[in-house]
Structures are given as C-alpha cells and as structure tokens.
Amino acid sequence: MAFVGMLNGTGTDRSAAFTLEQAIIPGLVQDASRTWALAWYNVVLDMAGSLGALAAALPLLLQHWLALPLLASYRTVFLGCAFLGVVGAILYPFASAAVEVSKSATETTLHNVSPATKKLVTRLAGLFSLDAFGGGFLTDALVAYWFFRRFGVAEESLGLLFFAVHLLNAASHLGAAWLARRIGLVNTMVFTHLPSSLFLIAAAFAPSLKVAVVLFLCREAFVEMDVPTRQSYVAAVVQPNERTFASGITNLARNVFWAVGSSVAGFLMQNVALSAPLVIGGGAKISYDLLLYRAFRTVKPPEEQ
C-alpha cells in the first residue's frame, strides 16, 4: 500500500502528467518565450512544494493543539494529501482544448519518429539517466534523514528548512530563464549545475549544522536552474509533433534511474557511510554536466541559431 501510495500522479518531474505537460507548454508560446513559460510552470510547482514542506510540522501541531494520538495525527495528514491529489485529478478535465497537441502530433509513434530524433533523444536519455541516478541519492527524504541523523534536527525545523529550499528553487527557475537568454540553454544547465554539486559535496564534510545548512541552501539556489532549461532544450531540439515522444523517453529514463539511485543510496547510508550519498550523488551529477557540455554544446535550439 505504501508503494502504491507513493506513485506520483502530480505535475512533477517524477510523474506521467509531467511528460504531457512538458510537451504541451512549449506549443502554447513562441520559441523565444518557451523557457520563460516553463520557468513559471516550475515556479508554481516549487511554491506549492514549499507549502507541502511546511506541512511536515502538521502532525506535531495536531498532537499539540487537538491532542490527537501520534498515529491519528499522521493519518490525518496522509488523508489530506490524498484529498489534494483527488482535487488535482478532477481539475485536469477542465483544461482548455487549446492545450491539446495537433492531430498529427498525437499520431507520432516510435515507428514514424525521424532517425535523427531517435538518435538525439537516445543520447539525451542516456545523459539524463546519469543525472537522475545522482539525483536519486539526494531526495528530500534522504537529505532530511541525513540532517536528522547527523545533527539531530527536529521535524519542525526540517519543515522550515525545506520550505526555504523550495522558495530558493522557485526563484532560481526565473534566474535560469533570464540567464539562458544571455548565455544559452546548455551553458546555463552546465554552469549552474556544477557549483551546486560542489556545494553539496562540501556539505557532506560540514563540521557543524550551521555550515551544513548554509552550504545546502547555496546548493539549492543553483541546483534547479537546469530544470526549465532542460525541459526547454528537449522541446526545442525536436519537431513539435515529436515532443511527447521525446519527453516520454527522457522522463522514463530519468524515473528508472532515479529509483535505482534512491535504492543504492539507502544501502550506502546504512552500510558504508551516512554522508556517502551526498558525495557520490554530487560526483555523478558533475560527470553528467561535463558529458552533457561535451556532447551538446554545439547543438543549438532555434532561438540560439
């Protein structure tokens, strides 16, 4: 039941809905506005995520204010989460027909996608797999557990920390769109992602909670800047009627290797070292950045040509 309950039906980059949304949004705007549109889309997601992070303190508040037993307080929060998921599902059918892709786009399958697109998407999927594998080491839950075990941080403090994290993520999306217009999508993806990984590795060796929090927040100010730029790049380098295919394949690869990374991270935390996932995850992401820059720095989207 816990596994099924964690299947993501929301509009984040771990979901089926995201694949469709990533294909839809670029078709609603001009090429020059594509990255900005996706940046605002991610701002909304992260602002909502910041409120969700604050909800981590709800069980304690329910126990204190309403004198609910421990189990009942957590059950109430889980039911509230399920209710919000149902509300989100109900809202989708009310979306305008304008979001639908063209008839020709809906008929695009693996058999009629151009060979050039298949090759390009395969290369991107391989690189994104490495990035997602590293990201699987660094889920919010694992990082929160690391702070708890390493420094004894309480639940309510973790909620505030990840509230700040998601606010930084949201602001960084807009910064990424601004920067991409000036230095390009691939450059923005690589040159913001690299320092974020270095901050993360440094946090693993932080001597105190204050230093660890500062380094972690510095990391979070940069780490999501590759999200709207990556989404925009995938949509830009294929034909409009191939966007759903490209989004589906690249996100499938990301999801599979993200799950693998999470499993390996848990094993390493328990059997090797508590901070091992931060170092290995950061290293995997640095490798991804360097390989991406080498392979795609000359493959320009239409607005950069």
Residue 9 neighbours by CB under 8 Å, 6+ apart: 15, 16, 17, 85, 88, 89
What tokens does 105 get?
């786009």
Given a cut of 60, whether residue 10 has pLDDT beyond it is: no
Q: What tens digit of pLDDT does each residue of 62-90 get?
A: 888 888 888 888 888 888 888 888 888 88
Q: Quick check: 8 and 15 in contact, CB under 8 A?
A: yes
Local confidence band at 103 (pLDDT 50, 70, 90 cut-offs): low
Given a cut of 80, whether residue 139 has pLDDT beyond it is: yes
Q: What tens digit of pLDDT does each residue of 246-260 get?
A: 999 999 999 899 989
Instruction: Classify residue 111: in a domain, yes or no.
Output: yes
- Mean model confidence pLDDT for the chain: 88
The model's pTM is: 0.85
Q: Quick check: 220 and 169 in contact, CB under 8 A?
A: yes
Instruction: Classify residue 226: in a domain, yes or no.
Output: yes
Say what the pLDDT of residue 2 is: 47
Torsion of CA 284, 288, 291, 292, to 10 degrees: 180
What is the CATH classification number for the domain harbouring 103?
1.20.1250.20
Say what the pLDDT of residue 275 is: 95
User: How far is C-alpha 266 from the geometric centre of its chain's CA atoms?
Assistant: 19
How far is Cα 118 from Cα 129, in angstroms, rounded to an integer?
16
Local confidence band at 4 (pLDDT 50, 70, 90 cut-offs): low
Q: What tens digit of pLDDT does each residue of 146-202 get?
A: 999 999 998 778 888 998 998 899 999 999 999 999 999 999 999 999 999 999 999
Instruction: Classify residue 304: in a domain, yes or no.
Output: no
Residue 77 neighbours by CB under 8 Å, 6+ apart: 55, 58, 59, 62
Instruction: Classify residue 208: in a domain, yes or no.
Output: yes
Average pLDDT value for residue range 199-209? 97
DSSP sequence for 210-239: HHHHHHHHHHHHHHTTHHHHHHHHHHHSS-
Total structural domains within the chain: 1
Q: Quick check: 219 and 17 in contact, CB under 8 A?
A: no
> Higher pLDDT residue, 103 or 222?
222
Instruction: Give me the long-range contacts of 83-90 (CB less than 8 A, separation at least 24).
Output: 85/9, 85/10, 88/9, 88/10, 88/11, 89/9
Share of residues in the chain with pLDDT > 70 (%): 91
Q: What is the DSSP letter of 156?
A: H
Say what the pLDDT of residue 24 is: 87
How far is Cα 297 from Cα 191, in angstroms, rounded to an integer?
12
Angle at 263 between CA 275 and CA 158, to 5 degrees: 50
Average pLDDT value for residue range 122-149? 94
Q: What tens digit of pLDDT does each residue of 20-69 get?
A: 888 889 988 999 999 999 999 999 988 887 887 777 778 888 888 888 88
Instruction: Classify residue 2: in a domain, yes or no.
Output: no
Say what the pLDDT of residue 6 is: 47
- Could you tell me the residue range of the domain that residue 96 belongs to? 8-296
Say what the pLDDT of residue 86 is: 87
> Higher pLDDT residue, 50 or 291?
291
Say what the pLDDT of residue 102 is: 61
Q: State residue 241 phi and psi, 5-degree precision.
A: -80, 0
CA torsion through residues 168, 288, 111, 116, sign: positive
How far is Cα 228 from Cα 34, in angstroms, rounded to an integer?
9
